[in-house]
Amino acid sequence: MELVRRTRALWARRGVLSTLVTRDLRVRYAQSALGYVWTVLDPLLMSLIYYVVFVLILKRGDLGHQPYFLFLVIGLLSWQWFSASLTDTSRALISEAKLVRSTNLPREIWVVRVIASKGVEFVLSLPVLLVFLVFYLVRGHAHLNGWLVLFPLALVLQAVALLGLGLILAPVTVLVTDMQRVVRIVLRMLFYATPVIYTTHLVDAPYDKIFWLNPMTGILELMRAGFFRHDRYPIVWGAIGTSVVVSVVLLFVGVAVFRRLERPVLKEI
């Protein structure tokens, strides 16, 4: 099977992948005065803005689980990983064109290293989430439960979905240069079609099933499952199951598209 063969090839070069990821992180933080702070500052500020607008100004207390700020932080940290990964994977082959042509590395490695480096940044942001969690636990507003074990599964599932989408976008962007602009526009639209600032329960049937096709819908359900009570907003298992299927399908489609377009891409760059 092609997926297995390419996975073995990547695993054989895992040392190189680790070096590339480390390089990306060092470059990102070395060129910034605030360094690591930028990883968490943007989602925290956006969480604050949405909290002020929806809770303090519009007086909406039904948009998501309580405490709503914790609900927002989880969603926006995950979305940052998703959005940044797709933005960078869309130009992964173009930005490293010389290395893509001149090395015998599996060319998927340029996509994987983007997703991995953004994933590491997400993991590095989790202590901030922990701080807010402890704050709300002390005040008695947060309620951890056994579904917290689903959080690692959500990370794996998001990585799978991103890898599939990245393997599609990277070669297509080389052949269709306007794709980078399309990705930026689609991401802006997709943000509001993803339950980042609201819960899936607010989407009426049958349109909620359409939202389930967005893999991030079920992924966010998994991430948030262990942090809140579910008496008002039960876990949407249908969205989770759909996300699993869609993510796996995206991975297989991504491998097939990347393999099909690999030669045309090498000729183009």
pLDDT at 205 over 90: no
Q: Is residue 174 part of a domain?
A: yes
- Domain range for 257 is 28-268
Query: 169-202 pLDDT, tens per residue?
Result: 999 999 998 898 999 999 999 999 999 999 999 9
Indicate left, alpha or beta for 140 from its phi (over 0: left) and psi (-120 to 50: alpha): left
Q: Is residue 124 part of a domain?
A: yes
Query: 218-250 pLDDT, tens per residue?
Result: 999 999 999 999 989 999 999 999 999 999 999
Q: Is residue 16 part of a domain?
A: no
Q: Is residue 19 part of a domain?
A: no
Q: Is residue 22 part of a domain?
A: no
Backbone angles phi, psi at 104, to 5 degrees: -100, 25
Q: Is residue 9 part of a domain?
A: no
**pLDDT at site 157:** 97
Q: Is residue 46 part of a domain?
A: yes
Q: At what angle do helices 68-89 and 150-175 cross, to 10 degrees?
A: 30
Q: Which residues contact 254 (CB under 8 A, 6 or more apart)?
A: 163, 164, 165, 166, 167, 168
Q: How many domains are contained in the chain?
A: 1
The pTM (predicted TM-score) of the whole model is 0.93
Q: Is residue 33 part of a domain?
A: yes
